[in-house]
Amino acid sequence: MEETRKGTVTSLSSVFPAEEAQKAVKRVQDTISDKKSELDYLRGFVADNNNLINLVHKLPEQLSHDIMVPFGKAAFFPGRLVHTNEFLVLLGEGYYAERTSKQTVEILTRRGKSLDSRVDSIEAIIKDLQAEASFFNATASEALEGLVEIREDYVEEDCKQESKSGSLKQSAPNFGKTTADDQQYARMMSRLDELEKQEELASESGNHSDQSEETTSDTDDISYQRPTDNNLQSSQDFRQGMLLDQTKNKSMAAEIPKKQNHQEDIADQLNFASLAVQSKVQEKENVPKKVRFVDQGEKLVHPEEKIVKATTASKGEVQHQTSQTSFDSRKAFTGSIIEHAENIKASPIEQSSTLSQVSGSQPKKPVSRFRMQRK
């Protein structure tokens, strides 16, 4: 059972060396500036076109215009513009057509539209490129900070035996939560979304350098994942697993009754949980426990594949639940826990069994992987 839970740890800088990432940033920036000059060029065309349209509009207002006619490169002589409603319009490829002012304006507006669409497409391309550049930038800085990527594959076979062992372990079943679950789940999720946004804002605002901050955000992760799972799993074993965990972690003891009534006020509980854990985790010896928590929550919510990031630096930012496997590498850089909320409801048995497996095998679990960054 233990072997199946082993994952791989890759340091980010070995996959993406910081220099390479910076080179990539530079390249992308170059492309952006190219595109920008192209955009300026096109904008010039658009302006020309608009001026021309105005002129063509105005010309037929009079029968003739007094103008200075260019003669050669340097000379002009006075002349008169007659037939002000006749235009010879270049259609392209050497084809000209005789048109009236009105028809000419039609042609010009059509051209303007095609120009506009080209401008739009180039703007979109520039936007994409900028996103790419910022991504490379983030990668470079994270590679410098020495992030590691931890991957563990979810092994499907575990489920069956786990569910057996899980059901055996359930010694304190509780009932009657099922009806309330859906409502609670909805409330919970909205609250969680809010919290996530707050955290993202906080991490973006940029003071997230010290260890204590990081621990805080990590604990937030835990505390918010736990109630979620709690709700999702009406089956008892999860609660059981939680009780086990909580008794292990003495600091959480005060919280247990609350958990058991299964909360009137979720927000309160969340805050309480995070406070309680935080106060304790600031002491280093609790770190292993904390990490285990993270891992467990992760296991629960992310059956496919999981990436738990332990990071010395910065962002304990919680990612959106919508994150997909295709974005794994991206998410992995941000030092966060990725969960798939949509999977949670779909396969409760699987998850609960996973949980009991996890809680069963916890002592064997090598903590060092997750701690490695802290040393």
CA 278/CA 283 separation, integer angstroms: 9
CB 348 within 8 A of CB 235: yes
Burial of 171 (0-12, 13-18, 19+ CB in 10 A): exposed
Cβ-based nearer residue to another protein, 59 or 107: 107
Calculate the CA 76 to chain-centre distance. Answer: 63
Task: Encode burial over 33-43: b for 16+ CB neighbours within 10 A, e otherwise.
Answer: eebeeebeebe
Task: Look at residues 241, 243, 259 and name the one whose alpha carbon lies nearest to residue 356.
Answer: 241
Q: How far is the CB of 322 from another protein (least distance, A)?
A: 37
CA 16/CA 144 separation, integer angstroms: 10
CA 277/CA 160 separation, integer angstroms: 33
CA 235/CA 343 separation, integer angstroms: 16
Q: How far is the CB of 114 from another protein (least distance, A)?
A: 7
Cβ-based nearer residue to another protein, 35 or 374: 35
Cβ-based nearer residue to another protein, 117 or 171: 117
Q: How far is the CB of 108 from another protein (least distance, A)?
A: 11
Q: How far is the CB of 350 from another protein (least distance, A)?
A: 44
Residue listed under structure tokens 């966060």: 336
Cβ-based nearer residue to another protein, 70 or 173: 70
Q: Per-residue x/- mask for another protein, residues 61 to 100, rule CB under 8 A?
A: ---------------------------x--xxxxxxxxx-
25 contact partners, CB below 8 Å, separation of at least 6: 133, 136, 137, 140
Q: How far is the CB of 113 from another protein (least distance, A)?
A: 11
Cβ-based nearer residue to another protein, 121 or 322: 121
The pair of structure tokens assigned to 323 is 């994150």
Strand pairing report for 65-71 and 305-307: unpaired
The site that binds another protein (CB under 8 A) totals a number of residues, namely 15
Cβ-based nearer residue to another protein, 117 or 325: 117
Q: How far is the CB of 86 from another protein (least distance, A)?
A: 10
Cβ-based nearer residue to another protein, 99 or 239: 99
Q: How far is the CB of 96 from another protein (least distance, A)?
A: 4
Q: How far is the CB of 88 from another protein (least distance, A)?
A: 7
CA 302/CA 26 separation, integer angstroms: 36
Cβ-based nearer residue to another protein, 106 or 193: 106
CA 236/CA 239 separation, integer angstroms: 5
Strand pairing report for 305-307 and 75-81: unpaired
Q: How far is the CB of 109 from another protein (least distance, A)?
A: 12
The pair of structure tokens assigned to 162 is 């786990």
Touching another protein, residues 98-117 (CB under 8 A): 98-99, 106-107, 110-111, 114
CA 370/CA 241 separation, integer angstroms: 21
Cβ-based nearer residue to another protein, 76 or 96: 96
Task: Look at residues 302, 270, 289, 304 and name the one whose alpha carbon lies nearest to residue 199.
Answer: 270
Touching another protein, residues 343-362 (CB under 8 A): none
Interface residues with another protein (CB under 8 A) are: 88, 91-99, 106-107, 110-111, 114
